[in-house]
Amino acid sequence: MIEVNNLVKRYGDHTAVDHLSFKIEKGKIYGFLGPNGAGKSTTMNMITGYIASTEGTVTIDGHDILEEPEQAKKCIGYLPEIPPLYFDMTVLEYMNFAADLKKIPKNEKKSMVEEVMEMVKISDMRNRLIKNLSKGYRQRVGLAQAILGYPEVIILDEPTVGLDPKQIIEIRDLIKSLKKKHTVILSSHILSEVSAVCDYVLIISHGKLVASDTPDNLGKLAQGSNNLSLLVKGDKDKIRILLGEIEGIKEIAINAAKDQEGWEVKLSTEESTDIREEVFFKMAEHHYPILEMQSKKVSLEEIFLELTEDDKKKKPEEPEREGETK
Ligand SMILES: Nc1ncnc2c1ncn2[C@@H]1O[C@H](COP(=O)(O)OP(=O)(O)OP(=O)(O)O)[C@@H](O)[C@H]1O
């Protein structure tokens, strides 16, 4: 559906996007995740043809975005970080205007505008001036113009930024419902958002792709993805020996429990090794009661922080902006 090949964007000597390559398949929700300034908006602006790349190509359904912009853009609906709204228009006027820009045939225009307004629940606001809408409703109108024409791919830059928790849930549900008919790409610096909504995550840091996989697989990526904490009663040395007999354990730490009898045992295991049952039977066999057991998977959050840690350590000097890209 979309192929991004060695995409580069330089602003002076600052490289905002650094040799990005990936493919987007039909019918999934993709999440672009990265801290502020990682290059998400710049990438989306290049995919949608808002700005030209310094190097590399973007093809949409076989059409190069710079060589065949009209055919390529037909496949895309875009909601930029700041929705392109005209504040002095009513919602309906704006929707009709957006439909004309997208060259939606006259005989389909009215019904499609109605249908899309219904879909994003802005029909009741049709006669209200956009400047009088709440932030959440403005975002819906922005989303509506992206959906108009039912493009195959809908690209949303930080779609929930600045919304209140209720509005965030509504917009997320709406995005999820788009998956039935569209491929969706959204960007976010919020991990929980991406893992809640997306089937596939692309983590970007300093303009580079540092990881890409399903949220589940990214979770497994982390080193020592299983940590097991126990509270056990019994002989400390014997407990260590018994646990040492279990395969797959990388580290054992045993400390006296605070404020209660027993030992706090922390085990870290090989990736995707589940030793809970074995630990249970081993301890039971020797009559060492396990009072507590907690298994902790390294979260996507921890992986994200680890992969993008550099961003915080050596934040590049912000170059002067060459022109408005947002
Ligand atoms: N027009 C421009 N001129 C100069 N530098 C720019 C321009 N646009 C973006 N940049 C720089 O490129 C880098 C990537 O910016 P970009 O807006 O793509 O990041 P982002 O991941 O979308 O971040 P955010 O979540 O803050 O929008 C930043 O360092 C930014 O300052």
Assigned token pair, 94? 């704006």
State the pLDDT at residue 260.
Answer: 84
Query: Do residues 273 and 199 make contact, with C-beta atoms less than 8 angstroms apart?
Result: no
- Give the closest residue (by CA) to ligand 1 atom 4: 321
pLDDT at position 318: 46
Report the nearest-CA residue for atom 7 of ligand 1. Answer: 321
User: Which residues form the pocket of ligand 1, taking CB atoms under 6 Å from any ligand atom?
Assistant: 11, 16, 34, 36-42, 81, 189, 318-319, 321-323, 325
Query: What's the CA gap between 190 and 211, in Å, rounded?
Result: 16
pLDDT for position 317: 45
The pLDDT of residue 300 is 66
Is 94 exposed, middle or buried (CB count within 10 Å of its CB: 0-12, 13-18, 19+)?
buried
Tell me, what's the ipTM? 0.94
Axis-axis angle for helices 236-244, 276-285 (nearest 10)? 130
Q: How would residue 323 be classed by pLDDT, with cut points 50, 70 and 90? A: very low
- Measured in Å, residue 171 CA sits from the centre of ligand 1 at 25
User: Quick check: 116 and 102 in contact, CB under 8 A?
Assistant: no
Q: What's the predicted TM-score (pTM) here? A: 0.73
The predicted structure's pLDDT at residue 302: 66
- Please, which residues have CB within 8 angstroms of residue 235's CB and are 6 or more apart in sequence? 288
Band the pLDDT of 325: cuts 50, 70, 90.
very low
At residue 238, does pLDDT exceed 50? yes
Question: CA-CA distance, 306 to 311, in Å (whole number)?
Answer: 10
Percent pLDDT > 70 in the chain is: 89
CA–CA gap between residue 49 and residue 74 (Å, rounded): 11
pLDDT in tens, 4-43: 999 999 999 999 999 999 999 998 999 999 888 889 999 9
Q: Which residues of 15-43 are buried (b: 16+ CB within 10 A; e: fewer)?
A: bbbbebebebeeebbbbbbbbebbbbbbb
Determine the distance separating the centroid of ligand 1 and the alpha carbon of 252, expressed in angstroms.
45
Q: Please name which of 41, 38, 44 lies closest in space to residue 22, comparing C-alpha atoms.
A: 44
Q: Which residues of 245-267 are buried (b: 16+ CB within 10 A; e: fewer)?
A: eeeebeeeebeebeeeebbbbeb
Handedness of CA 225, 312, 206, 323 (dihedral sign): positive
- The Cα–Cα gap between 63 and 291 comes to 62
36 CA to centre of ligand 1 in angstroms: 8
pLDDT at 312 over 60: no
* Candidate ranges 5-9, 271-275, 305-309; pick with highest mean pLDDT: 5-9
- pLDDT tens track for 210-229: 888 888 877 666 544 577 89
- Residue 146: phi and psi, rounded to 5, are -70, -35
Work out the average pLDDT over 99-120. 94
Please say if the pLDDT value at position 198 is more than 50: yes
Which tops the pLDDT comparison, 300 or 104?
104
pLDDT at res. 316: 47
Rounded-to-integer distance, Cα 112 and Cα 277, Å = 57
